[in-house]
């Protein structure tokens, strides 16, 4: 086996963010860029000698090239075996499952998730550890440290592997096993859910539409929803993964999946609709005439999980990211379950899941998951909803009405100000931080601040501390605003403003969320000076 050791120099800025390293595709394609980062991962985990990895990605532009480079670098560093999805494809939850199923030492997922793909768009690399979950901050810091002292990388000089062929290939001293990306994931779903009940629901005339947004879930959704559960052919739309996702943002929210939303709001709407993102870990849930916010979806799944075979024994606890609405907390309180609020990003749920403190986790950004893997899981959430609807036999709208009547309604929205000047964004957050102690008791646009904090989290399992995780402002009357800067963008800064207002009176449960939240938005704007500092009169994206 011919191994080359290429001298290289550290590259600035290889800093993993909320979910892996994300950069413009062109940046990743620069000479040595990908190789440097991958070698930094190998170095940070103490080398690859004798180890087993899982590899796959969401099919975006450069996925195929990057997969070949990573396999050659794994072989050069002495890996024993790499399990790869056919054509280099694996959804993020399927990769997490394969790591756990095979007892692999970790995995690499090639994805920038909901960011657009293509030569002029975004690419990303995530490293997951042996539990199947995203690398914790201690490891992502170590990877960055390695990237700053790197002087060479090793690569096996060989021709491309035929990743379209299922089976084993020997590659230097390493075995590459190409697997069907869907089969093991489908088997896991069939264990967790009552496929017969869901198939019965569909056979009885229940109509659904799933929008794969030309991203990785297309083959998974077709196989499970159409082939296994009997949804008519064509129920899965935009099912063929494309390197540029058909030119769209594979982000399942009312802005980027507006056709699907229009479809459920119009005449002839199906009973249920859903969409997933680039790498298949997010979900958007819709019913005829209704959009379910991700925060509400988490709460509904928590309240009804016991109706599905995988969670028939009930839940151990629930965790949500701090900006996610407190709808799930209300379910936890009613059911006497522990409830945790973590910083944004799935990596913070891993320890809670591993230690058995929680069963369900969720984020307001359309991520929900359980202890079946260590990632959020888009299709899992869809199947969980279908299983619950198959048992309860009510419409999505009626289920939501019943849920709010029982637990109250946490009206919720998120405003994103994208591509703003990084210095202006940092200045806004810093000034707010300095003013935090003086805010309680002050009025802003008619709302009085009750509490204000810079969110910090101490992991209850390993004691690690994450600081500066977002500014949380509580107002009198149950309203809340959270401000934080995105850690997944590739241009300028994105300011996220999360708004929440609890209403419990029966006559207040069916109002227009934008109207209910307008006063909170005004108060947050005045308090943080968003318009003044960013020069923006309105958010770019409202979800
Ligand atoms: C966003 C979401 C966060 C999610 C992350 C990765 O991060 O807000 O909840 O975990 O994306 O999701 P940020 O830092 O931009 O707010 V995925 O599906 O893009 O891997
Ligand atoms: Co994703």
Q: How remote is the C-alpha of 486 from its chain's centroid?
A: 13
Q: What is the dihedral of CA 237, 383, 251, 467, to 10 degrees?
A: -170
**Known active-site residue 113:** yes
Q: What is the pLDDT of residue 227?
A: 98
Q: Which ligand is nearest to the CA of 22?
A: 1
Q: Looking at ligand 1, which residue's alpha carbon is closest to its atom 1?
A: 488
Residues of the chain with CATH 3.30.310.50: 409-542
Which of 77, 91, 111, 113 is catalytic? The answer is 113
Q: Looking at ligand 1, which residue's alpha carbon is closest to its atom 4?
A: 345
CA–CA dist 100, 93 (Å, integer): 11
CA–CA dist 157, 4 (Å, integer): 7
Task: Using the structure block, give the residue that is written with the tokens 């003086």.
Answer: 438
Mean pLDDT of 274-294: 97
Given the DSSP bridges, would you call strands 21-24 and 122-129 parallel, antiparallel or unpaired?
antiparallel
Ligand 1 touching residue 124 (CB < 6 A): no
Find the helix or strand (DSSP H, E) in which 258 lies.
helix 258-265
Q: What is the pLDDT of residue 507?
A: 96
The answer to whether 284 and 366 have CB atoms below 8 angstroms apart is yes
Task: Using the structure block, give the residue that is written with the tokens 């609807």.
Answer: 389
Architecture field, domain 409-542? 2-Layer Sandwich (3.30)
Q: What angle, rounded to 10 degrees, do the helices at 195-203 and 378-392 form?
A: 70
Given the DSSP bridges, would you call strands 208-211 and 236-237 parallel, antiparallel or unpaired?
parallel
The answer to whether 409 and 133 have CB atoms below 8 angstroms apart is no
Q: What is the pLDDT of residue 18?
A: 86
Given the DSSP bridges, would you call strands 283-287 and 290-292 parallel, antiparallel or unpaired?
antiparallel
Task: Using the structure block, give the residue that is written with the tokens 């969670």.
Answer: 311
Mean pLDDT of 260-265: 96
If phi > 0 it is left, if psi is from -120 to 50 it is alpha, else beta; for residue 519 that is: alpha
Mean pLDDT of 476-499: 92
Please give, one letter per residue, the 3-state secondary structure of 370-426: ECCCCCCCHHHHHHHHHHHHHHHCCCHHHHHHHHHHHHCEEEEEEEEEEEECHHHHH
Q: How far is the CA of 251 from the centre of ligand 2 (A)?
A: 8
Ligand 1 touching residue 281 (CB < 6 A): yes
347 three-class SS: helix
Task: Using the structure block, give the residue that is written with the tokens 């809340």.
Answer: 480
Q: In a 10 Å sphere around its CB, with 0-12 CB exposed, 13-18 middle and 19+ buried, how is residue 78 labelled?
A: middle
Mean pLDDT of 101-124: 97
Q: Looking at ligand 1, which residue's alpha carbon is closest to its atom 20?
A: 113
Q: What is the pLDDT of residue 407?
A: 98
Q: What is the pLDDT of residue 489?
A: 81
Q: What is the pLDDT of residue 122?
A: 96
pLDDT at 1 over 80: no
DSSP label of 89: E
CA–CA dist 276, 303 (Å, integer): 23
pLDDT tens digits, one per residue of 399-410:
999 999 999 999
CA–CA dist 160, 148 (Å, integer): 29
Q: What is the pLDDT of residue 205?
A: 97
Atom number of ligand 1 nearest to Cα 366: 9
Question: Count of residues for the chain?
Answer: 543
121 three-class SS: coil
pLDDT range class, residue 492, cuts 50, 70, 90: confident
pLDDT at 290 over 90: yes
Atom number of ligand 1 nearest to Cα 18: 14
Q: What is the pLDDT of residue 37?
A: 98
Sign of the C-alpha dihedral, residues 44, 46, 48, 52?
negative
Q: How remote is the C-alpha of 186 from its chain's centroid?
A: 20
Ligand 1 touching residue 363 (CB < 6 A): yes
CA–CA dist 136, 417 (Å, integer): 28
Q: What angle, rounded to 10 degrees, do the helices at 378-392 and 294-304 form?
A: 50
Mean pLDDT (the chain, rounded): 96
Q: What is the pLDDT of residue 490?
A: 83
CA–CA dist 207, 235 (Å, integer): 8
β-bridge mates for residue 22, sequence order: 124
pLDDT tens digits, one per residue of 496-532:
999 999 999 999 999 999 999 999 999 999 999 999 9
The answer to whether 523 and 475 have CB atoms below 8 angstroms apart is yes
CA–CA dist 61, 118 (Å, integer): 5
Q: What is the pLDDT of residue 487?
A: 85
CA–CA dist 499, 518 (Å, integer): 9
Q: How far is the CA of 451 from the centre of ligand 2 (A)?
A: 32
pLDDT tens digits, one per residue of 406-463:
999 999 999 999 999 999 999 999 999 999 999 999 999 999 999 999 999 999 999 9
pLDDT tens digits, one per residue of 190-223:
999 999 999 999 999 999 999 999 999 999 999 9
Interacting residues of 543 by C-beta distance below 8 A, sequence separation 6+:
253, 254, 255, 413, 414, 416
pLDDT at 491 over 90: no
Pair of tokens at residue 273:
């609709």
Q: Looking at ligand 1, which residue's alpha carbon is closest to its atom 2?
A: 365
Report domain 185-407's class: alpha beta
Q: What is the pLDDT of residue 389?
A: 98
Mean pLDDT of 213-237: 98
Interacting residues of 200 by C-beta distance below 8 A, sequence separation 6+:
390
pLDDT range class, residue 81, cuts 50, 70, 90: very high
What number does CATH give the domain 3-181?
A: 3.40.120.10
Q: What is the pLDDT of residue 204?
A: 97
Q: How remote is the C-alpha of 323 from its chain's centroid?
A: 14
Residues of the chain with CATH 3.40.120.10: 3-181, 185-407
Ligand 1 touching residue 93 (CB < 6 A): no
359 three-class SS: coil
Mean pLDDT of 308-324: 97
Q: In a 10 Å sphere around its CB, with 0-12 CB exposed, 13-18 middle and 19+ buried, how is residue 538 labelled?
A: exposed
Ligand 1 touching residue 541 (CB < 6 A): no
């Amino acid at each position: 086996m011919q191994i080359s050791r290429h001298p290289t120099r550290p590259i600035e800025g290889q800093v993993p963010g909320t979910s892996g390293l994300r950069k413009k595709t062109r940046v990743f394609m620069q000479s040595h860029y990908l190789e440097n980062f991958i070698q930094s991962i190998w170095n940070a985990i103490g080398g690859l000698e004798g180890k087993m990895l899982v590899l796959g990605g969401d099919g975006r532009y450069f996925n195929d090239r990057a997969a070949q480079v990573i396999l050659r670098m794994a072989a050069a560093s002495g890996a024993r075996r790499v399990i790869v999805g056919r054509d280099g494809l694996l959804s993020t939850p399927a990769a997490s499952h394969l790591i756990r199923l095979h007892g692999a030492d970790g995995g690499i997922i090639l994805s920038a998730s909901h960011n657009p793909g293509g030569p002029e768009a975004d690419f990303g690399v995530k490293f997951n550890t042996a539990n199947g979950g995203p690398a914790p901050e201690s490891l992502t810091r170590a990877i960055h440290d390695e990237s700053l002292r790197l002087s060479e990388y090793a690569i096996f000089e060989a021709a491309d592997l035929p990743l379209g062929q299922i089976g084993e290939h020997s590659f230097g001293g390493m075995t590459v096993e190409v697997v069907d990306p869907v089969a093991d994931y489908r088997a896991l779903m069939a264990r967790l859910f009552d496929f017969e009940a869901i198939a019965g629901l569909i056979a009885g005339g229940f109509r659904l539409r799933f929008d794969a947004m030309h991203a990785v879930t297309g083959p998974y959704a077709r196989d499970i929803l159409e082939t296994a559960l009997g949804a008519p052919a064509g129920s899965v739309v935009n099912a063929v993964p494309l390197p540029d996702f058909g030119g769209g943002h594979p982000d399942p929210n009312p802005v980027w999946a507006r056709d699907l939303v229009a479809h459920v709001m119009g005449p002839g709407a199906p009973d249920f609709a859903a969409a997933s993102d680039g790498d298949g870990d997010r979900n958007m849930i819709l019913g005829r005439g209704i959009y379910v916010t991700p925060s509400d979806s988490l709460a509904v799944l928590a309240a009804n999980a016991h109706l599905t075979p995988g969670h028939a024994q009930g839940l151990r606890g629930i965790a949500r990211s701090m900006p996610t609405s407190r709808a799930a907390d209300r379910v936890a309180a009613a059911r006497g379950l522990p409830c945790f609020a973590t910083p944004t990003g799935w990596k913070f749920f891993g320890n809670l899941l591993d230690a058995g403190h929680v069963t369900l986790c969720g984020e307001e950004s359309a991520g929900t998951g359980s202890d079946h893997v260590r990632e959020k899981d888009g299709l899992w959430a869809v199947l969980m909803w279908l299983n619950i609807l198959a048992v309860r036999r009510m419409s999505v709208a009626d289920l939501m009405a019943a849920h709010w009547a029982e637990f109250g309604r946490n009206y919720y929205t998120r405003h994103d100000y994208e591509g703003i000047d990084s210095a202006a964004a940092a200045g806004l957050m810093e000034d707010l931080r300095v003013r935090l102690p003086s805010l309680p008791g002050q009025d802003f646009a008619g709302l009085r601040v009750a509490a204000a904090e810079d969110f910090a989290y101490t992991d209850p399992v390993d004691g690690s501390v994450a600081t500066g995780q977002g500014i949380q402002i509580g107002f009198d009357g149950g309203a809340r605003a959270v401000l934080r800067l995105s850690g997944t963008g590739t241009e300028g800064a994105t300011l996220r403003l999360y708004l929440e207002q609890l209403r419990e009176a029966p006559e207040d449960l069916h109002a227009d969320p934008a109207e209910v939240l307008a006063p909170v938005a005004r108060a947050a704007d005045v308090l943080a000076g968003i318009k003044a500092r960013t020069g923006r009169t309105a958010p770019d994206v409202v979800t």
